[in-house]
Amino acid sequence: MKKHLLLFVVTAFGLTLQAQKKFAQLDQELPTPNEYRTASGAPGHHYYQQKADYVMKLSIDDATQKLYGWERITYTNNSPDQLDYLWLQLDQNVFSVNSDSKLIEVEKMEDFKSLGDIRKKQFYYDGGFKIDEIKTASGQKMTYSINKTMLRIDLDQPLLPKASVTFQVKWWYNINDRMAVGGRSGYEYFEKDQNYLYTIAQFFPRMCVYNDVTGWQNKQFLGRGEFTLPFGDYDVQITVPADHIVGATGVCQNYDAILSAEQKKRLEQAKKADSPVIIVTQDEAIKAENAKEKATKTWHYKASNVRDFAFASSRKFIWDAQSVTVGKNKVLCMSYYPKEGNPLWERYSTKLVAHTIKTYSKYTIDYPYPVAISVHSKWIGMEYPMICFNGGRPEADGTYSEQEKYGMWGVIIHEVGHNFFPMIINSDERQWTWMDEGLNTFVQYLTEQEWERGYPSRRGPAYLIADYMRGDKKTISPIMTNSESIFQFGNNAYGKPATALNILRETIMGRELFDYAFKVYCERWKFKHPTPADFFRTMEDASAVDLDWFWRGWFYGTDNVDISIDEVKWFQLNTQNPEVEKAFKKEQDAAKDKFIGDERNKTSIDKTVNEKDASIDDFYAKRNLYTTDALERKEYEEFISKTDIKDLELLNGNKQFYEISFSNVGGLVMPLILEFTFADGSKEVVRVPAEIWRMYEDKVSKVFIFDKAVSSIRLDPFLETADTDLRNNSWPQEAQPTRYQLFKQQQAKENPMQRQKRVDELKKN
């Protein structure tokens, strides 16, 4: 109901000032800035990181599916600290018979319902590293100790700052059957042609990170929190059956000795091509599948400034490549896949690699490595520097569903994208999954949208996270939770941070400020080890937007967004002009609801006494409340003479005032995005920053002034805040149809097949 204001009315907030919680600065949560990491979120003037260089000789025994390895590690201590021992990671030990990963799995008898379940639970696989020896560079045995997935080497002499130590490790392990045991790497056996496809990673004892944040990052690998690794240079020789094709981190040094002349020619063509060129054809791969050569060949790879090394090997591989230019760097994008991956892989994989490298480079840093590789690997998606293993396998008859196609596209973009997070912007995955998965999923969303307009991304848009964020908070972890303790890993570490960044970009900061700050973070921390504080601080430092409330709500908390429009009050200014105001009063009185008795009396009572007898009506009965007398006109003229012309214009401007009260039902503060629809059908969107909640966290009100009357108001009309309840987002209140009701409405209409039937009927006639 519209109300009339006496000139300007001061709105009294029925609110009490609250202790600041949601907008409290993050200082207490973040580590104190220091010489290694500054308060602006950049590496400090004494920032350091260790270096681990590897020389490796590896061989795969295709008959027994064993990997044999020897490595010489040169570890350089760039820290100011003296190190008495070194820690290495033994990830394969997660498959050891006595692995903690199996023991910490919560189980119930329902998990043993079928014989198949029991067989799976009792499946025996002799996994884990078998360490043969650890020696110094000169061949002296070193003392070491294995604690599950961690290996400590005790040094005879402490490793001093700026000094290096070189040592050798010899090991072997049974490669896991990935289809039976699971895992991020392993082999797949193709029964039909009796061949193996190896995707090999985490296959060697790798140095742990030592830095200013964690000291040695030697948290056990329990299976979920991935890897934290120092950068270094790799020189790796891989011996495999002679008919195998190998793809690996880095650049092959001996293609001349490995490839046929024709294949080398095709490879040279691919280096200049902007669409994929086949280097090993399907026919050549099928020939190799059948021949099964017994001899071996050694592939030699080198990679500089990488944090890890992985490779894939199979005689089943088809291989294609194309070039893409990023800045001054020419990147060779490649795919390795068996015929079982076609037709999807030949058509899309390498093009997706190239698109991902280009798009990520636009939003983050220029891709610095010489190659980027996608390897076909049924079911999974897993990332390593320059190489990743991706699923997406059509049916045996070569057909595939739309979901499979989009699934494959999504996984390739995601895993190639991991080259940026965490392979180059090298965060601590074991501690914070979101720093690589969340940031990567966010840029994946941007990349998908540039691949196909309207790409059905399942993560990124705000409204897609609403179902996860609603409800009981006991089953939701804050994003800032250690990787191993997260409820709902996918939604928590991938979906919510990706959504949060998307909201920052679209709604809180705007694209220009966000993109600049995000790039600054990526540039600052490429080839370094960032922490959450470095990210939070850089985003603020480079944008001048105080985001502490946002990090606190979205990253440290579990509240959800549910803002409600509680009440709308409508006011107009009193013009003081008696002609205008009395006409308005008359209009209002006329518009009032009529009592039924009064209405009926109009006809049932022919004439009342005062209508028949003129002497009854006195001054009060005769005066007309809606006409203006001379005194009122004179007073108004006096008022005009004393009032500034601008104020008069304002008074006569027909301004409409709307006082809207909002409640923060969900707890997570967000901007108020309001779409006003006016009586004439036009619309206006007003964006109120989240800081409106800074002192009143539960309830606020705001007055909006327009030149025309508002007919309806919608809160969050573009679904950009992840509001979990849209039923309280409109005035007048609009019933929001449930998803079931939308389905029924849709069902009531003619479906496309029914329409096609009618078209066919028409053609017949």
Partner 1 sequence: MLPQLFAHNFYFAFAEVEYNELNQRLEVSLSGTAHDFEAAILKEYGYTCKWGKATLTSKDTNIIENYINKHLSFHYDCMSATSNAVETCSTIFHLEGIQFNKDGSFMCFLSTPIQTNSMKNMSAQFDFLMELFPEQQNKLTFIYRDKSHTLSFIKPQSLSIKLEE
Residues that bind partner 1 (CB under 8 A): 105-106, 110-111, 113-114, 182, 184, 226, 379-383, 390-392, 395, 399-404, 406-408, 410-411, 414-415, 437, 456-459, 467-468, 470-472, 474-476, 487-491, 494, 725, 727, 738-741, 743-744, 747
Q: Which is nearer to partner 1, 612 or 739 (CB)?
A: 739
Q: Which is nearer to partner 1, 212 or 559 (CB)?
A: 559
Percent of the chain that is helix, strand, coil (3-state, to 5): 35, 25, 40
Q: Which is nearer to partner 1, 147 or 741 (CB)?
A: 741
Q: Which is nearer to partner 1, 19 or 748 (CB)?
A: 748
Q: Which is nearer to partner 1, 437 or 720 (CB)?
A: 437
Closest distance between partner 1 and the C-beta of residue 726, in Å?
11
Q: What is the DSSP letter of 463?
A: G
Closest distance between partner 1 and the C-beta of residue 374, in Å?
13
Closest distance between partner 1 and the C-beta of residue 360, in Å?
17
Q: To the nearest 10°, report the CA torsion of 747, 750, 751, 757.
A: 150
Within 8 A by CB and 6+ apart from 408, the residues are 344, 348, 349, 390, 391, 392
Closest distance between partner 1 and the C-beta of residue 363, in Å?
20
Closest CA to 460 of 415, 517, 505: 505
Closest distance between partner 1 and the C-beta of residue 631, in Å?
53
Closest distance between partner 1 and the C-beta of residue 356, in Å?
14
Q: Which is nearer to partner 1, 134 or 561 (CB)?
A: 561
Q: Which is nearer to partner 1, 45 or 474 (CB)?
A: 474
Q: Which is nearer to partner 1, 98 or 399 (CB)?
A: 399
Q: Which is nearer to partner 1, 156 or 402 (CB)?
A: 402
Q: In whole angstroms, give the CA distance from residue 352 to residue 736.
A: 39
Closest distance between partner 1 and the C-beta of residue 700, in Å?
23
* Cβ–Cβ < 8 Å for 412, 377: no
Closest distance between partner 1 and the C-beta of residue 381, in Å?
4
Q: Report residue 651 as tokens.
A: 């008074």
Closest distance between partner 1 and the C-beta of residue 488, in Å?
5
Q: Which is nearer to partner 1, 297 or 458 (CB)?
A: 458
Give Cα 704 distance to the centre of its chain: 35
Closest CA to 423 of 391, 387, 447, 459: 387
Q: In whole angstroms, give the CA distance from residue 530 to residue 102.
A: 31
Q: In whole angstroms, give the CA distance from residue 78 to residue 232.
A: 13
Q: Which is nearer to partner 1, 133 or 467 (CB)?
A: 467
Measure the N-to-C terminal CA separation of the chain; round to a whole number of Å: 59
Q: Which is nearer to partner 1, 110 or 760 (CB)?
A: 110
Within 8 A by CB and 6+ apart from 447, the residues are 355, 356, 359, 360, 413, 417
Closest CA to 671 of 709, 702, 707, 631: 702
* Cβ–Cβ < 8 Å for 87, 221: no
Give Cα 212 distance to the centre of its chain: 28
DSSP letter string over 7-76? SS-PPPP--------TT--GGGTSPPP-SSB-TTSSB-TT----EEEEEEEEEEETTTTEEEEEEEEEEE
Closest distance between partner 1 and the C-beta of residue 26, in Å?
28
Q: Which is nearer to partner 1, 456 or 689 (CB)?
A: 456
Closest distance between partner 1 and the C-beta of residue 344, in Å?
12
Q: In whole angstroms, give the CA distance from residue 434 to residue 272.
A: 37
User: Any idea what the Cα angle at residue 530 is, between residues 308 and 503, rounded to 5°?
Assistant: 110
Name the burial class of residue 298, with classes exposed (0-12), middle (13-18) and buried (19+) by CB atoms within 10 angstroms of its CB: middle
* Cβ–Cβ < 8 Å for 136, 167: yes
Q: Which helix (H) or strand (E) holds 289?
A: helix 282-291
Closest distance between partner 1 and the C-beta of residue 376, in Å?
11
Closest distance between partner 1 and the C-beta of residue 355, in Å?
18
Q: Which is nearer to partner 1, 219 or 300 (CB)?
A: 219
Q: In whole angstroms, give the CA distance from residue 209 to residue 49.
A: 8
Q: To the nearest 10°, report the CA torsion of 190, 191, 192, 197.
A: 20
Closest distance between partner 1 and the C-beta of residue 322, in Å?
24
Closest distance between partner 1 and the C-beta of residue 275, in Å?
25
Q: Which is nearer to partner 1, 402 or 644 (CB)?
A: 402
User: Any idea what the Cα angle at residue 490 is, between residues 484 and 493, rounded to 5°?
Assistant: 65
Q: Which is nearer to partner 1, 230 or 392 (CB)?
A: 392
* Cβ–Cβ < 8 Å for 29, 556: yes
The string over 212-224, giving b where at least 16 C-beta atoms fall within 10 Å of a residue's C-beta and e elsewhere, is bbbebbbbbbbbb
The amino acid present at 370, given as its one-letter code, is P
The amino acid present at 691, given as its one-letter code, is E
Closest distance between partner 1 and the C-beta of residue 724, in Å?
8
* Cβ–Cβ < 8 Å for 214, 200: no
Q: Which is nearer to partner 1, 364 or 491 (CB)?
A: 491
Closest distance between partner 1 and the C-beta of residue 181, in Å?
13
List C-alpha distances in Å: 610 to 366, 556, 599, 607, 614: 93, 76, 18, 8, 6
Closest distance between partner 1 and the C-beta of residue 445, in Å?
12
Q: Which is nearer to partner 1, 166 or 488 (CB)?
A: 488
Closest CA to 75 of 103, 43, 53: 53
